């Protein structure tokens, strides 16, 4: 059986924001559940304090590194949880993330949560992905 992804959007407003309400996945043989990825260096040091756009980009870079470790890419992501200490700042900086998912040809189901802080106070965003292949 080949992998199929069916977009479920009873309402269309989320499509304009770059995500589906749900995705029905059939034929998957592997599921990767990623821990939250942040703007952390390979040495475990927070990067880009105060720069939401740079943190979003690096967090997504780190998601891609984890995916690559499992032989996957952004095109395999079916769900993304986004945690941020600044929802408005995230919306202003999220265009690059939407563009990267557009290039991958997917709009994963997503949840955005505003929180008071992350594990390190310098961090403003954390991305948690589920991918299938």
Q: pLDDT > 90: what percent of the chain?
A: 92
Residue 1 has pLDDT above 80, yes or no: no
As a whole-number percent, the residues of the chain with pLDDT over 70 amount to 99
Residue ranges of domains in the chain, CATH in brackets: 30-132 (3.30.1330.40)
Give the confidence band of 84 by pLDDT, cuts at 50, 70, 90. Answer: very high
DSSP 45: -
Q: What confidence score (pLDDT) does residue 9 get?
A: 93
**What average pLDDT score do residues 88-94 get?**
97
Secondary structure (H, E, C), 60-87: HHHHHHHHHHCCCCHHHEEEEEEEECCH
Specify the pTM. Answer: 0.91
Contact present, 64 and 73 (Cβ < 8 Å): yes
CA-CA distance, 107 to 19, in Å (whole number)?
4
pLDDT digit string (tens) for 46-63? Answer: 999 999 999 999 999 999
The three-class DSSP label of residue 25 is strand
- Angle formed by the axes of helices 95-104 and 52-69, to 10°? 30
Q: Mean pLDDT across the stretch 91-115?
A: 96
Mean pLDDT (the chain, rounded): 96
Predicted pLDDT of residue 2: 87
Once rounded to an integer, what is the mean pLDDT over residues 8-16? 92
List, for residues 60-79, the tens digit of each pLDDT value: 999 999 999 999 999 999 99
């Amino acid at each position: 059986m080949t992998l199929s992804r069916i977009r479920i959007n009873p309402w269309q407003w989320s499509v304009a924001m770059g995500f589906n309400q749900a995705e029905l996945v059939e034929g998957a043989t592997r599921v990767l559940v990623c821990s939250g990825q942040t703007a952390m260096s390979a040495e475990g040091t927070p990067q880009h304090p105060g720069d939401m756009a740079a943190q979003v980009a690096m967090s997504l870079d780190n998601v891609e590194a984890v995916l690559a470790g499992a032989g996957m890419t952004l095109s395999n992501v079916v769900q993304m949880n986004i945690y941020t200490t600044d929802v408005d700042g995230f919306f202003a900086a999220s265009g690059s993330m939407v563009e990267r998912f557009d290039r991958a040809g997917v709009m994963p189901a997503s949840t955005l949560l505003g929180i008071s802080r992350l594990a390190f106070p310098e961090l403003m965003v954390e991305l948690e992905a589920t991918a299938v292949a």
